[in-house]
Copies of this chain bind each other. A is one copy, B any other.
Amino acid sequence: MLKTKVDVDQAAVILKLLGDRTRLTMVKLLENHDCCVCEFVEIFDMSQPSVSQHLKKLKQVGIVKEKRKGSWVFYSLNKESEFTIFIERLLDEIPNQDDKLEALEKNGKRITCC
């Protein structure tokens, strides 16, 4: 049987993780694009360890997954999680953040990574 609703405790865990400006923006960006760590470092103007730690938390509960390509590690939304529908509905309610990636593109910082 397909589970249509997420348990309250599980939902609280997801919401707590997404209740952080940085992680919420990350996940919204990943809705439409795969991104590598160094791109997030640029976008959030944040140290690389800090970015890695945020991504690790998102990965631990299965919100995102990673794929290594050469020396880069690309992150993407995990579409097979039991929380996928819940998260996608949630992301529908917040505005697109792709302007942040476009800004990278203009600075040539998107291409150097990919």
Known A12-B18, A12-B20, A18-B12; judge A89-B94 contact (CB<8 A).
no
Q: Which one of B9, B15, B94 contacts A18 once the chains associate, using CB atoms below 8 Å?
A: B15
Cβ-defined contact, A93 with B16, below 8 A? no
Establish whether residues A15 and B8, one from each chain, have CB atoms under 8 Å apart when the complex forms. Answer: no
Interface centre among A5, A17, A93 (most CB of B within 10 A): A93
Q: Give the size of the chain A interface in residues (CB under 8 angstroms).
A: 27
**In the bound complex, CA of A19 to CA of B12 (Å):** 4
The answer to whether A21 and B8 touch (CB under 8 A), given A16-B16, A93-B89, is yes
Contact check: which of B13, B85, B89 meets A89 at CB < 8 Å? B89
